[in-house]
Structure 1
Amino acid sequence: MKICYLVLVTRTPEFRDEAGAEHARFLDEVRARDQLLITGGFTDKTGGAYVLHNVADRAAAQAIVDADPLMTLGSATATVHEWSTR
């Protein structure tokens, strides 16, 4: 069993396209650290999800999410769920 962190992201009414571009660059950095397993947007454009792995614990996963430009720029909110995978 492996512990991952499912991050569900919901756009706010204040969403800006520039924040989306910053978010994509941010995820590239997380991927380069081998902490991003998969990511994608919802087809209805309301948000998306990503899965973090190789992260010490939930607090460390939350710290990554808190640094996401979507959150820091107020363009989205996110919830982090600890997820056991097989």
Structure 2
Amino acid sequence: MRYLVLAMRTPQFEPSVIDLHKEYLAQLKEDGVLELAGPFTDKCGGAYVIKVDNLEAAKTVAFDDPIHTSGSSEVTVHEWDATAFSKND
């Protein structure tokens, strides 16, 4: 299953955590977990799509992200049926 992770900046956002967050995402990509990621253009946060076996695994991935553990962003995880309109999956 695919999961959409939304990371919305909190008032306690620390710009210094961005590098750690990017390193975390790079590792997820290397591990074959991360499919897509990017910030919102208005700088309020960002989102990424991961592919894991279940919701608990998705929450573990999202809540271990330094952007979350530092308190810089509030992270939510949504199971996403992204294949509903895809011709390739």
The TM tier, using the shorter chain, reads over 0.9
**Structure 1 letter corresponding to 2:73:** A
Which has more helix, going by share of residues? 1
Give the deviation of 1:84 after TM superposition: 1.2
Distance in 2 of aligned mates of 1:8 and 1:26: 15
Distance in 1 of aligned mates of 2:34 and 2:75: 16
Percent of aligned positions that are identical: 41
Distance in 1 of aligned mates of 2:49 and 2:25: 11
Give the deviation of 1:9 after TM superposition: 0.8
Unaligned 5+ segments in structure 1 are none
SS of residue in 2 equivalent to 1:17: coil
Which has more strand, going by share of residues? 1
Distance in 2 of aligned mates of 1:66 and 1:41: 18
Which structure has the bigger radius of gyration? 2
Match of 1:67 among 64, 69, 75: 64
Any runs of at least 4 consecutive aligned residues in structure 1 with deviations exceeding 4 A, and if so which?
Answer: none
Tell me the C-alpha RMSD between the 2 structures.
Answer: 0.7
Match of 2:30 among 5, 29, 32: 32
CA displacement, residues 33-69 of structure 1 (integer Å, 9 cap, x when unaligned): 000000000000000000001x110000000011100
Give the deviation of 1:85 after TM superposition: 2.2
